Chains A and B, each alone.
Chain A
């Protein structure tokens, strides 16, 4: 008798993650691709490629999956709490910064269940998209944007959090001959301030698990820990935490 396989799919605004776990919650495979213009097609391929017994969908595209695959859904809040707690136990909060949204989740210490959460408002300020646009403006590849910012000798304060206003602020700084890396560091810091505000509203001490694509940025993780004076822990694959959580919740749903 072969063991059962449980899949989780997280359809975000920028990327789709797909994780399969076995009946003990051990990850069997994990795949990521761009959301693109036809997320349903991407999802269909992923579902077809990775055999599984039960699927759970999360992320902003979860209702697309509900219709397409007739599968149960869970919000990204609960999925992240589950996935992060399974990866690293004992943390008191999660910060997730994705492509176009960010959220802070406070956890109950023992169970890892959601205690409270905050989400950013309607626009993409303070998310991965903000950093992506700013990296392009400054001529850095996104992958090394954080490293370059860490190398800065000083930090230039960026006052605007709005992507459009910050863009013109950056343009005028470049025109004045300011150091590119110092501007980059200032931009990272403005995202940190906003994220720290969210974290502080829901949790005032303990370790923080940082998830989402932006957690791969070394400058973000370093500055966040410095700014909050709290330990910031990064799971092995921070982008796949939502999908992992969904897969684990699919597993739990069959185990009563």
Chain B
């Protein structure tokens, strides 16, 4: 298969054979899991297109911008503020970490009992199959969990452009913690300015905040619509929107989500859904699901339930809360940015009671019948937290299933039995 993008991939230094193999697997999985769904909204066609061109047209677009002087910043975490990147004339892209790749090479550099997400990050680099990673001018790592923190030390040495920037992240929601985050955002702003040669102004930072606020507002609209019964959109499709959220052109993404929402509003009025009314409704909570990790949602939605919310970094953790854009100084705007991101309830924080509260609020807001806590094997923060989450939900009489899995397919039978049994419990 000859893709019109091959020359571009070659120029980026991708391994064409491996990359073709990856695209083939990705295309096959997308076909089986996404295109076979029934009653999809027409507005999803845009996202089908985005996904089919995720390594093609979107990369070309970024490279064209790059040629015109704009920079590309790659990130692995929702703590990296897109607002600051945009203000400095850079695009932020989420980097690939949702599939196993080149595992034998990865395990030369990482212990076997490292979570699939971190291994995947290394696999995409070592296998030379991620055009985002290869084209980025700066890669931002962040000190969230210990796994990532230590892995970045090694990742820094295997990036071809040696362009890793590491951001420190607090672990407690204290005055000192907030000061740390604020200081890191100021340092990041300087680093972006240095990278792009653009001085960030009050106006450009406000513009960046507005752009991302508008994008988040569109997502908030989508989230609310999912509260309806019948659910107007499948959890898989909504997850896809969340997965594309950090990587697409912000204005076009916002527009596409709003168009999708217009359609969903009409569906709700007509009582049409992706699944029949009274289908058991599930909230997913826990670790992020990066493209193309659709494993658990595919199991859930092929077992007679619908997912109505994602309490996850690829989900509400990255879209919750807006930023006040009324500040008139850089300091005031950085304060406002810090205020929003400091509320992120990642499991690396201790204690992290806000998260328990958010899960319960989401169950109520989206009329969920139960929660499936998704933990990636070896992800200490989320696996540790899954037990207090389960207890808190039990106290609130909300059924909860804890699953621990990875990106491999070897536990599919077990996983399906657990999920089906949980759904039987909800009926």
Contact = CB atoms under 8 A, between A and B. Distances in A.
B10 interface: no
B425 interface: yes
B40 interface: no
B417 A60 contact: yes
Contacts of B418: 117, 119
A76 B421 CA distance: 8
- Interface size class on chain B is 10 to 19
A114 B424 contact: yes
A253 B420 CA distance: 18
A77 B422 CA distance: 9
A119 B417 contact: yes
A74 interface: yes
Contacts of A117: 418, 421
A78 interface: yes
A119 B414 CA distance: 8
Contacts of A122: 410-411, 414
B117 to A, nearest CB: 19
A117 B414 CA distance: 13
A75 interface: yes
Nearest to B425: A114
A75 B420 contact: yes
B4 interface: no
B413 interface: yes
Nearest to A80: B421
Interface string A67-79: 0000000111110
Nearest to A114: B425
A77 B410 CA distance: 20
Interface in B387-427: 410-411, 413-414, 417-418, 420-421, 424-425
Nearest to A61: B413
A117 B425 CA distance: 10
B424 A75 contact: yes
A122 B413 CA distance: 10
A60 B425 CA distance: 18
Nearest to B411: A122
Contacts of A121: 414
Most buried by A among B410, B421, B425: B421
Nearest to B399: A116
A82 to B, nearest CB: 10
A232 B150 CA distance: 48
Chain B CB within 10 A, most for which of A75, A78, A114, A121 = A75
B417 A77 contact: yes
Interface in A92-120: 101, 113-115, 117, 119
Given A114-B424, A114-B425, A75 B411 contact: no
B414 A75 contact: no
9 contacts: A60-B413, A60-B417, A75-B417, A114-B421, A114-B424, A114-B425, A117-B421, A119-B414, A121-B414
Given A75-B417, A78-B425, 10 more contacts: A75-B420, A75-B424, A77-B421, A101-B414, A113-B425, A114-B424, A115-B425, A117-B421, A119-B414, A122-B410
Q: Which A-B residue pairs are the 10 nearest by beta carbons?
A: A77-B421, A75-B421, A75-B420, A78-B424, A114-B425, A122-B411, A75-B417, A60-B413, A119-B418, A75-B424
